[in-house]
Amino acid sequence: MSQRDTLVHLFAGGCGGTVGAILTCPLEVVKTRLQSSSVTFYISEVQLNTVNGASVNRVARVSPGPLHCLKIILQKEGPRSLFRGLGPNLVGVAPSRAIYFAAYSTCKERLNHVFAADSTQVHMVSAGAAGFTAITATNPIWLVKTRLQLDARNRGEIRMSAFDCIRKVYRADGLKGFYRGMSASYAGISETVIHFVIYESLNENCLEHKIASTIDEDEESVKEASDFAGLMLAAATSKTCATSIAYPHGEWT
């Protein structure tokens, strides 16, 4: 693979990751809050009647759903809280995705000379190696992002900034504090492996269908739109399957 191809993967991975991070940040905040056992704003009051007629207020904790969590965040913290951690996310997602896709494509190119070209073994090893590389390089950024997303404060209260979070982590644990949860993140490589194995398989089927189709060259714009839709569908399907299978690792991070 030429140096130009590597740069293309770096640029495309970085741009795609940045756009995805901005669009999905509110969902990421809700997911992080739901996964955390330390966030306790899902409290409701239940009024009970005693035998003698007096009423007693009891505080009951209920299991929230995503919509309930979203509603509470908007009510107590405001819309801006749905983008907590976006700064570190944007700082980290571009290099993370760039490193990942560059490592994946490079590893895939070299392993094609070791195993059968574009085989399942090539995709699995390439995805695993790329995930390990990206996680090791960017774990401190994701730790800061998660801490900021878990910083639930009411409207008007001073919110913790990324620099405040960095100082807090460093004072508490030193440099090693920025690598907490990295071993659990390595467990998440399984999701990446499953994702790319399914994606490459679907993508190969799409290419075979494209070759077998009889679209005229005059309909180039239609063909390009069809190719883009096929890639989007393959990526969405493979990511959904991988996340569903490997989701429990997210509770460890």
User: In this predicted model, what pLDDT tens digit does every residue of 202-234 receive, in sequence order?
Assistant: 888 877 776 666 555 555 555 566 677 777 888
Establish if 54 belongs to a structural domain: yes
| Total number of domains in the chain | 1
Establish if 38 belongs to a structural domain: yes
Q: What is the per-residue pLDDT for 60?
A: 46
Establish if 195 belongs to a structural domain: no
User: In this predicted model, what pLDDT tens digit does every residue of 126-144 receive, in sequence order?
Assistant: 989 998 998 888 888 888 8
Domain range enclosing 17: 3-180
Specify whether the CB–CB gap between 108 and 123 falls below 8 A.
Answer: yes
Mean pLDDT of the chain: 75
Cα–Cα distances in Å, from 133 out to 102, 104, 157, 246, 253? 10, 10, 38, 19, 17
Between the ranges 119-123, 167-171, 240-244, where is the mean pLDDT highest?
167-171
User: In this predicted model, what pLDDT tens digit does every residue of 10-51 receive, in sequence order?
Assistant: 677 677 777 887 888 888 888 878 876 544 444 444 444 444
Residues in the chain: 253
Establish if 149 belongs to a structural domain: yes
Q: What is the per-residue pLDDT for 47?
A: 45
Establish if 72 belongs to a structural domain: yes
Specify whether the CB–CB gap between 80 and 157 falls below 8 A.
Answer: no
> Residues 6 or more apart from 240 whose CB is under 8 A from it?
none
227 versus 163: which is more confidently predicted? 163
Establish if 252 belongs to a structural domain: no
Establish if 220 belongs to a structural domain: no
How far apart (Å, rounded) are the C-alpha atoms in residues 71 and 44?
14
Give the CATH number, domain containing residue 37.
1.50.40.10
What are 171's two structure tokens?
Answer: 């004072």
Establish if 123 belongs to a structural domain: yes
What φ, ψ does residue 177 adopt, rounded to 5°? -65, -25
